[in-house]
Structure 1
Amino acid sequence: MATSPSSIRDGIIRDDGGSGNLVSEDLSFEMGFFGFDNSSRYVGIWYHKVPTPTYLWVANRDEPIKGRGGSIRIKSDGNLVVLDGENNEVWSSKLNLSNPVNNSQAVLHDNGNLVLSNNDKDVWQSFDHPTDTYVPGMELPASAGMSMKPSFRSWKSPTDPSTGNYTMGVATEGSTQQILILEGEERRWRSGYWDRRVFTGVSNMTGSSLFGFELNTKDNGEKYFIYNWNSDQKVRFQISWDGFERLLLWNEDEKSWSQTQYEPYEKCEEYNYCGSFAVCDMAKSPICSCMEKFKPRNWDEWNRQNWSGGCERITPLKAESERGINNGSGTAVNVGSEDGFLKQNSMKLPDFAQLVDVDDEDCESKCLQNSSCTAYSYTLGIGCMVWYGELVDVRYSEDLGTVLNIRLADSDLGHGDKRTKIWIILAVVVGLICIGIVVWLGKLPGGEPIAVKRLSRKSSQGLEEFKNEMMLIAKLQHRNLVRLLGCSVQGEEKILVYEYLPNKSLDCFLFDPKKRVQLDWTRRFEIIEGIARGLLYLHRDSRLRIIHRDLKVSNILLDESMNPKISDFGLARIFGGNQNEANTDRVVGTYGYMAPEYAMEGLFSVKSDVYSFGVLLLEIVSGRRNTSFRNTEESSLIEYAWRLWSEQRAMELVDPSIRDSIPESEASRCILIGMLCVQDSAYRRPNMSSVVLMLESEATSLPLPKQPLLTSMRIYEDGDQSHSEGLDVSNDLTVTMVTGR
């Protein structure tokens, strides 16, 4: 066989071994004839160095050549064509070129793309006409509208590349994108919605699995996904002949493809497997269950594990009840009571969402205003999504981070039951106090370990702050917030009962020379992310907009798995729906964590917490307290970090115990995020939703910060000494307080 060419201009590739196949310049890909028997021959592209041929593209998939003798050439009209042994055309690029003669050339590029050019202008490429495989560099169109323009079609069988039964592509519904797999016209699988980082319904699409998906827009407004791959390892996505999408990586040592994503074996991956208003959960048996306060439509079929009929409401919504009265069909018990929402975490959001242009605080009310709205979700990177009618294709997985709020009748929300549980908890706590076992210890009568916070009588946190903390925490539920079990006020004794967190607070590890080695970079970054998510919940995702006002390292508690939980809400403030900023004459907080506008003017907002988070982030990266720089050239960790970052010496800030294990790009990025958070101007600081995006997506570009010239430390150091000394008096059970001058 002759030397393999890298392009076709005047040459011809024949299926007789006479002139060799087309090979890319770096020897990664090969183009030529192939077949699985002697009767049907195809033209395709495959990996050149992979022992078992893996075909990425097929030209004449539905027009196989019978027997050998076919050829690939450029015709006089400039088109690339495939001819059979009798010179009959079985496939063509089908272009109408104005000046084709002797000016066309086909080149197989190093990414596997076959490009036809005419007069040095690219006029056709195989990436625009894919078969069943997606490789890095290929543009994946995001079709507009509820229908999906198929981008990939499966083979009919492992040895038959003709068009199969399954298609795959991206559908844009409203302003949200998701990958769909169709069997004929019916949906078979979907990825969940794109949130600018991941497809939210793919439970393992996080961390290293994210790699490099990006959604881009062309000059004409068309959107498309592209996958940037920064490794020499071969990677491909495929819609296989049996209808499943797979991500495959080439293992050079084992000389085989390893499948790392989109396993086809879970029933919950099948579209709407459990029917409407039902949840699929592979961890349960049976795997299908009705949503809370819903029941099977057909009990007989449900008991036979035929779940396709789905579920229906037990109690009608207010509007449904009123319609029943008007029709003379009877009276429902919840008439006159407003509907509410049941919050469900870790859900694959239902199909057919509609995007509403409102902020997170108005998303719930927007759904309530429409009697047909059955659920809503405000998701970072997407916005306010609402659903009308039945909720379909919902599954539960602990790995999913999205929250679904399901509309229920008021009587189904169990408000009375919640009040009863609170009184039971209070009764248990009071009982504990009466029998004298409250002080440090231990366990509730049922055996549940607890942590008891008993305020010192000398504590500056009074009854008002204590009640504030109690009421706030009782209403908050998030994996990165400490959970309140009960409380008691008896005379001067004030006690809170929390879930027990065995690893105590973050400062016990971070600033301990021996324990800090347990906090490697991966653990520290997870703690930073967890704190950011908890703070985002307080600022945006909870029903209340809450400003913590005392975020500091000692108020970050760690559970048995070292997951962070924000604690101590004694100084927190609730903001109203349209309130963004407030003023106080009583400045409270902790030395070194207060934003300048709060320390000087008493102005606080969500950006005050962002400032405290920035300080906390820099402390976690450096392993040093912000207040440890009093007798040095810099007055604070913030000044020290700015100097090193601006001099491109950011790695010197990193804790020496982890410096050798942290990639410099990650360290610099985290320090830059910290510097953005501690800028003097509250306006310039990012909000926590932006911070979470910056932390979790390397594709997000970061602005440059302004040099911080003011810190709360310098403000107080410029004041009288006795006043600043008073700021330092604190313990684990009291809140440090500052009185404005």
Structure 2
Amino acid sequence: MDSFSATLFAFNLALLLFRSAAISDSLTAQNPYLTDGLSLVSSNGNFELGFFSPGLPTNRYLGIWYKNRRGPTSVWVANRKTPISGSSGVLVMNITTGNLTLFSHNSTVVVWSARLMRKVPNGVLQLLDTGNLVLRDREDENPQNYSWQSFDYPSDTLLPGMKLGWDLRYNIERRLEAWNNLNDPSPGDFSWRMELHEYPETVMWKGSRKYVRHGPWNGVRLSSRPLAAAPILNFNFVSNENEVYYQISLVNKSHSVMLVMNQSSYTRILYLWSAAERRWRVYTSLPRDYCDNYALCGPYGYCDIRVTPSCKCLEGFKPRSPDSWKTGEFADGCERNKLMNCGDEVGFAHLNQMKLPDTTHTWVNKSMNLEECKQKCLRDCSCMAYANTNISGSGSGSGSGCALWFGDLIDLKLIPDAGQDLYVRMLASEIVMHGEAHKTGRLNSKVKTALFAISGLGSAILFFIIGVYIFKRRSTFEDDHEKIEAHDLELPLFDLSLINSATDNFSLNNKLGEGGFGTVYKGKLTNGQDVAVKRLSQSSGQGTNEFKNEVILIAKLQHRNLVKLLGCCIEGDEKMLVYEYMPNKSLDFFIFDKTQRQLLSWSKRYRIICGVARGLMYLHQDSRLRIIHRDLKASNVLLDMDMNPKISDFGLAKTCGGDQTGGRTLRVMGTYGYMAPEYAFDGQFSVKSDAFSYGILLLEIISGKRSRTFCHLNDQNLIAYAWRLWKEGNIEELLDDAIRETCSLSEVLRCINISLLCVQQHPNDRPTMSSVVMMLGCEIPLSQPKQPGFFIENEAIEMKRCSSKDKSTSTNELTITLPDPR
């Protein structure tokens, strides 16, 4: 009898006994099998190992999850790429060698097997309290001398104690790869791994493209990490001849946390378990802001999220493509003001509070001090910058170790009150007042020129020149009714002649749409970039205040799911906004058209659903200002070339300070069909009224039906229709025919459940957008929705609605239903 047949024979002999065995935390020589329906539970009761089905019930996976926890609980999956069909899976520990094999007991096909470092004849497979599944020799005096451990082969989740990086002795790479989707744990294209440069660092990747770079370890933290007031995690980094890895641990051991890679949102989310609420809460996520996008500002450019535009050139450098920078395209980066040759007199500009550049091309010596590092860089003409590798001990120049950068400096970011000192090679003549200009990041170049030119004159002349300059600048922002100050706008200004030329004098052929506040035209700038120009109607109710509101708000917002404002034009009576052009128009163009809706598959709709949720979460929670949009609807969701959604039109948006989440207004403005009841009737707006609008948008995306003009038997609106189908258990009838046959039914039903939670009558019952993002991205058991808020319009509007088809009127108050700007 061969070894495999002997294993099966032993398995069949012991199977009945094992089926009745009590659940424990281990497999041993006496009980070496784990079948579907049984599980191992860690001694503290936190983790469980067993078989589960995230999607189709016929697809089974062996995995580890948090036990008795609502939310994203799966932390490890063995057979990610090869699901087991049905409940015939069995995990077998070979009692002779310790080999771990997962297969179906009805076949000889191996589904998964462990890579052992050595044989374990007297093995025990144990699920530890950390969530680590380990195989060890029972008689080994060192209980941590594992032959194999699940922590060496992570899936999409990093737990405290796990290592992200490399075991160089056994050539094991510990990397995280997101699930392909909620129902499929196979690896997607979103990963996080350790890059083994001379100066190692961790990087998140989208496929083959760097997405977010964390910066190298500097002895205290990753150079990209801001300082936290009350951190819940400790961070550790180890780099030696045996291992290179990054690791987290808990400050408070009673906490439960996990870092999860989310494919649908392309974010890395840190979840913290709230014992009081009995649920996982999103603690932080990455990217944190617009500036986290890799190489956003190109070579020798740095990103400062506090200002607009966020990309700046280092002192002594200028934009390589000035026209592109004027329109918000920064990827070409910067070049030196003056060419630097090898024999030139050079020095180093001192930058502080910086995320260190990409370390792909670096040289490191851990024993050098900072002065030795400087001299080493000076002697090599190809050395572009240097820095300490260890800043522990604090204080400028008190660190140790030396890192040199060769080639272009890429992916620089200003991190206020954190970051690190970086010394950049420059011509000696260019190193003037660099430190102060870098700290502020906002000193206008013309003002700086004036300051340098008159540095020897008296203060009276200085203030006179600055005053004249400011007066001239302000005069260009003046209209007939109210002054708009340049420092309010913080945006590039376009000449009216340039806009006229770009839009062919606002030709009807270039008209994209018309709304309550003006008309939108397509334009082409002199550099060939397509733009959308929103021209404010002079008779519009959106006066200077609303215009300023939209400009100031959106200029401060930087998120991939928000439309990008490139600049504005203010001359005489003309007030215009210049946006990035969205070639695929808006969401309503697709979902409400019988032909176009066929082009919007369920996977594209789901990506749009997730993107809009992330954009709203940023507005409500992660932006510098807490912003309530107040007019979220399908026509205000624009689609880029890849059908990625971008929320637009911030003319009605409101800001909240401090911990506020809403407010009240006597001037109710928005769109019937999307308004939350408390806002429509009482003027109460909040993050929860935006969540209500989002719920309506979900129903429209899923059904392909307009909320406002919907009529069906006795159902007065789309919410009522969806609610009736939900109560009847016939919710599949809501689906758009264009996706009915090809959609993931579990995802669709989950989205409908979320939408009904968002449109509940009472705001306190509705989820926040951060909770919505978590519900969309993770397997959280969803609660049952309560009675929706049925907003019934006045009788005149109600009588017209069914006959109005897809047309709607615009006014400036109470209802602003648009064929809207694209």
Pairwise TM-score range, normalised by the shorter structure: 0.5 to 0.7
Aligned-partner Cα distance in 2 for 1:53–1:431: 63
Residue 471 (structure 2) aligns with: none
Partner in structure 2 of residue 415 of structure 1:
442
Could you tell me which amino acid in structure 2 is paired with residue 189 of structure 1?
Y
Higher RCO (CA 8 Å, separation ≥ 6 residues): 2
Question: Structure 2: which amino acid aligns with 1:464?
Answer: N
Give how far 1:278 is off.
5.1
* Alignment of 1:710 onto 2:790: yes
Given candidates 246, 258, 263, the residue that maps to 1:206 is 263
Q: Name the CA distance, whole Å, in 2 between partners of 1:451 and 1:589.
A: 22
Q: Does 1:374 find its partner at 2:413? A: no
Structure 2 counterpart of 1:498, which letter?
Answer: Y
Contact residue 117 and residue 148 of structure 2 kept, 8 A: no
Question: CA 1:413–1:558 in structure 2 vs 1: closer, same or farther (change >3 Å)?
Answer: farther
Say which of 581, 586, 589 aligns to 2:667. Answer: 586
Partner-residue secondary structure (3-state), 1:704: coil
Aligned residue among 611, 614, 617 for 1:536: 617
In structure 1, the residue matched to 2:432 is none
Secondary structure of 2:605 counterpart: helix
Whole-angstrom CA distance in 2 between matches of 1:304 and 1:616: 55
Question: Shift in Å at residue 618 of structure 1?
Answer: 1.0
Task: Structure 1: state its 5+ residue gaps.
Answer: 10-18, 35-42, 62-71, 73-81, 83-90, 95-110, 118-122, 160-171, 224-275, 324-343, 350-366, 376-388, 392-407
**Counterpart for residue 639 of structure 1:** 720
Mapped pair 1:299 → 2:356: no
Aligned to 2:569: 488
Count of aligned positions: 516
Name the SS of the counterpart of 2:418 in structure 1: strand
Secondary structure at the residue paired with 1:658? helix
1:158-307 alignment to 2 at 5 Å? Answer: 188-190=244-246, 199=259, 206=263, 279=356, 281=358, 286=361, 299-300=377-378
Tell me how far 1:458 sits from its aligned partner. 4.4
Give the letter for the 1:653 counterpart.
Answer: L
Counterparts of 1:304 and 1:521, CA distance in 2: 51
Q: 1:451 to 1:709 in 2, by over 3 A?
A: closer
Which of the residues 144, 150, 157 maps onto 1:134? 150
Superposition deviation, residue 514 in structure 1: 0.7
Instruction: Render the CA deviation track for 1:178-223: whole Å, top value 9, x for unaligned.
Output: 99885669861237899999746x7xx63599999999899xx9x9
CA offset at residue 650 of structure 1?
2.0
Give the whole-Å Cα distance in 2 for the aligned partners of 1:206 and 1:594.
Answer: 31
Deviation at 1:604, TM superposition (A): 0.9
SS at match of 1:426: coil
Q: What's 1:425 paired with?
A: 492
In the alignment, is the contact (CA less than 8 A) between 2:629 and 2:690 conserved in 1?
A: yes
Q: Tell me by how many angstroms 1:690 deviates.
A: 0.9
How far apart, CA to CA, are the structure 1 residues paired with 2:271 and 2:143? 17
Which one-letter code corresponds to 1:426 in the other structure?
A: L
SS of structure 2 residue aligned to 1:425:
coil
Shift of 1:581: 2.6
Check whether the contact 1:23–1:31 (CA below 8 A) recurs between aligned residues.
Answer: no
Residue in 2 aligned with 1:448? 529
Task: Tell me if the contact between 1:594 and 1:612 (Cα under 8 Å) persists in the aligned partners.
Answer: yes
Cα 1:555–1:721 change in 2 (3 A) is same
Q: Distance in 2 between matches of 1:612 and 1:623?
A: 16
User: How far, CA to CA, are the matches of 1:653 and 1:52 in structure 2?
Assistant: 39
Q: CA offset at residue 310 of structure 1?
A: 4.6
1:44–1:58 contact (8 Å) kept in structure 2: no
Distance 1:52 1:470 in 2: 57
Q: Which amino acid aligns with 1:480?
A: N
Letter in 2 for 1:693: M
Query: Structure 2 counterpart of 1:428, which letter?
Result: D
Letter in 2 for 1:528: I
| Per-residue Cα deviation, 1:552-572 (whole angstroms, up to 9, x for no partner) | 111111111111111111111
The answer to whether the Cα contact below 8 Å between 1:46 and 1:53 also exists between their aligned partners in 2 is yes
SS class of match (1:608):
helix
Q: Tell me how far apart the structure 2 counterparts of residues 115 and 44 of structure 1 sit (CA, whole Å).
A: 11
Report how far residue 113 of structure 1 moved.
Answer: 8.8
Considering only CA atoms, is the larger Rg found in Structure 1 or Structure 2?
1
| Counterpart check, 1:526 vs 2:607 | yes
- Matches of 2:494 and 2:157, distance apart in 1: 60
Q: Map of 1:459-478 to 2, 5 A cutoff? A: 459-478=540-559
- Structure 2 counterpart of 1:132, one-letter code: W
How far did 1:551 drift?
A: 0.8
In the TM superposition, residue 622 of structure 1 has moved relative to its aligned partner by 1.0
| Shift in Å, 1:29 | 2.7
Which secondary structure does the structure 2 equivalent of 1:702 belong to? coil
Q: Distance in 2 between matches of 1:56 and 1:615?
A: 50
| Residue number in structure 1 paired with 2:781 | 701
How far did residue 657 of structure 1 move? 0.6
Contact 1:178–1:199 (8 Å) recurs in 2? no
Tell me, what secondary structure is at the counterpart of 1:626?
coil
Tell me, yes or no, if the aligned pair for 1:481 and 1:534 is still in contact at 8 Å.
yes
Q: Is the 8 A contact 2:33 2:93 kept in 1?
A: yes
**Structure 2 residue runs without a partner (length 5+):** 16-28, 36-88, 127-131, 173-220, 222-227, 281-352, 365-369, 399-409, 423-434, 446-485, 507-520, 817-822
**Distance (Å, rounded) in 2 between the aligned partners of 1:509 and 1:515:** 5
Q: Does the aligned pair in 2 maintain the 1:552–1:612 contact within 8 Å? A: yes
Shift of 1:615: 0.6
State the SS of the aligned residue for 1:486: strand
What is the CA distance between 1:299 and its match in structure 2?
A: 2.7
- For the 8 Å contact 1:140–1:151, the answer to whether it is kept is no
Cα distance in 2 between the residues matched to 1:140 and 1:437:
51
Q: Give TM-score scaled by structure 2 length.
A: 0.51
Is the 1:535–1:688 Cα contact (8 Å) retained in structure 2?
yes
Contact kept? 1:278, 1:310, Cα under 8 Å:
no
Q: Residue in 2 aligned with 1:606?
A: 687
Aligned 1:547-696 pairs, distance under 5 A: 547-630=628-711, 632-696=713-777
Q: Distance in 1 between matches of 2:580 and 2:155?
A: 49
Q: Is the 8 A contact 1:193 1:199 kept in 2?
A: no
Identical residues among aligned pairs (%): 36
| Deviation (angstroms), 1:433 | 4.3
Q: Distance in 1 between matches of 2:436 and 2:682?
A: 46
Distance apart, 1:523 and its partner CA:
0.5
Q: Distance in 2 between matches of 1:212 and 1:494?
A: 41
